[in-house]
Amino acid sequence: MLSLVDLRDRIGAGRLTPQGAVSLAREAIANRDPEVGAIVRLDPAAPVPDEGPLAGIAVGLKDIIDTADLPTEMGSPLYAGWRPRADAPVVARLKRLGAVPLAKTTTTAFAFLDPTETRNPRNLAHTPGGSSAGSAAAVAAGMLPLALGTQTGGSVIRPAAFCGVVGVKPSFRLLPTVGVKCFSWALDTVGLFAARVADAAHALALLADRPAIDLPAGDPGLPRIGLLRQDFCAPPAPEALAALERAAAAAERAGAQVRDLDLPPIFAEAFARHPVIQDFEAAQALAWEYDHHRNALPPLLRAQLDGAQRVGPAEYDASRRIAHQARRSLKDVFGEEGVDVILTLSAPGPAPEGLASTGDARFNRLWTLMGVPCVTVPVETTAEGLPLGVQVIARFGDDGRALAAARLIERAIG
């Protein structure tokens, strides 16, 4: 894989030019994408700045993020060839930092569940997950050192785990969602994919203009980790649970304090309310597409929006209240339980075989609803070469701590 930090170090040392770094990405795309299918559009004439902290870094953008230089097609023929007049603010920020928005990456239609044709580069017979399928696959295939995606349920953490890369869902609204096709305004979060935790931390710190998010040069201290199996939803595959136990044991050997953690019942209630909030808002966010082009929508999205028309304001408001109660309770979990981060599952198991499903987001939805930072770290691979990852979660606004704990686990696993 292409490491953002490594590329920047080589550029800083004069061993590589920004133009040369972007050429590496172009060559990798030419070699790998014909079999992976992660790229929707490639900018053939993207300018490569010589200056900036991300100069030489080619970036993939999930194709629901507006770009003035490339079409934004939402994974749907309804928007074929559609050209926004302006970049989304997060894209404008990338350009100010010297990065090169080189490619648009595949997305499920309107970032829901109907799968793309993208294949998992770890095993081409399996899904890369979704909805940020192309972003995860492009980084895993070594085509790009950085890619942006979005998460409304589990669309960053799950595909990152399936493809064996680092994925970050930051604290809610840390990165702007303006200029990103909305599915649920209370849940949609811009996240990113990178090869290693250090790459993701450096990129997020720059994008958010918060240097403290980046990993400290020295020892940040050993975290107190709460090990959570999330027993209020269907159990994971045995190999996923084994990967979680392995990561916890490695963190403990590295000096972290690890203890089992159980959540109060309010979290099971909140978990069940995520779909209500998502559907009520999706019915409004996609009202034009549904009212004028319902029959052109893919089957899973069409059926979901059919049902979403029946979700009323009273049910939505009650769900929002429960979510708010759970968020307040989560502060107590971190405080009274004496844990700095939560360690839990990223996905129910390895990537499913075939391209008919993007997998299940049941180990992600609650944390998206809570708005807290989440980082997935690869742990091991199955006999079929499919990655398994774990998820590190910190309190709201403590993105740097989540990343520091993730790096400890990454290093401890080796």
Give me the CATH number covering residue 51.
3.90.1300.10
Is 135 part of the annotated catalytic residue set? no
pLDDT score of 216: 76
Instruction: Establish if 157 belongs to a structural domain.
Output: yes
* pLDDT reported for residue 336: 83
- Nearest 5°: the CA angle 356, 359, 363 is 170
Instruction: Give the whole-angstrom CA distance, residue 333 versus residue 340.
Output: 10
Q: Is position 240 within any domain?
A: no
Within the chain, which residues score under 50 in pLDDT?
A: none
Catalytic residue among 131, 132, 171, 319: 131
CA dist 388 and 331 (Å) reads 29
Task: Classify residue 223: in a domain, yes or no.
Answer: no
* Structural domain includes residue 333: no
Burial string for 164-180 (b: 16+ CB within 10 Å, else e) reads bbbbbbbbbebbebebb
Peptide bond before residue 319 is cis, with ω within 30 degrees of 0: no
C-alpha torsion sign, points 190, 173, 363, 249: positive
* Structural domain count of the chain: 1
| Amino acid code (one letter) for 89 | P
Residue 289 lies in a domain: no
From 76, 132, 135, 155, active-site residue = 155
What pLDDT sits at residue 337?
84
Q: Catalytic residue at 184?
A: no
Catalytic residue among 62, 95, 104, 181: 62
Rg over alpha carbons for the chain, rounded to the nearest Å, is 20
In a domain, 160, yes or no: yes
Q: Answer whether residue 124 is part of any domain.
A: yes
Residue 217: predicted pLDDT: 62
- Could you tell me the pTM of the whole model? 0.97
* In-domain check, residue 93: yes
Q: Which residues contact 412 (CB under 8 A, 6 or more apart)?
A: 247, 250, 251, 253, 254
Give me the domain span that covers residue 21: 4-213
> Which region holds residue 320: left if phi is over 0, alpha if psi is between -120 and 50, else beta?
alpha
Q: Are 167 and 173 in contact (CB under 8 A)?
A: no
319 part of the active site: no
Cα–Cα separations (whole angstroms), residue 241 to 229, 233, 319, 374:
8, 14, 30, 18
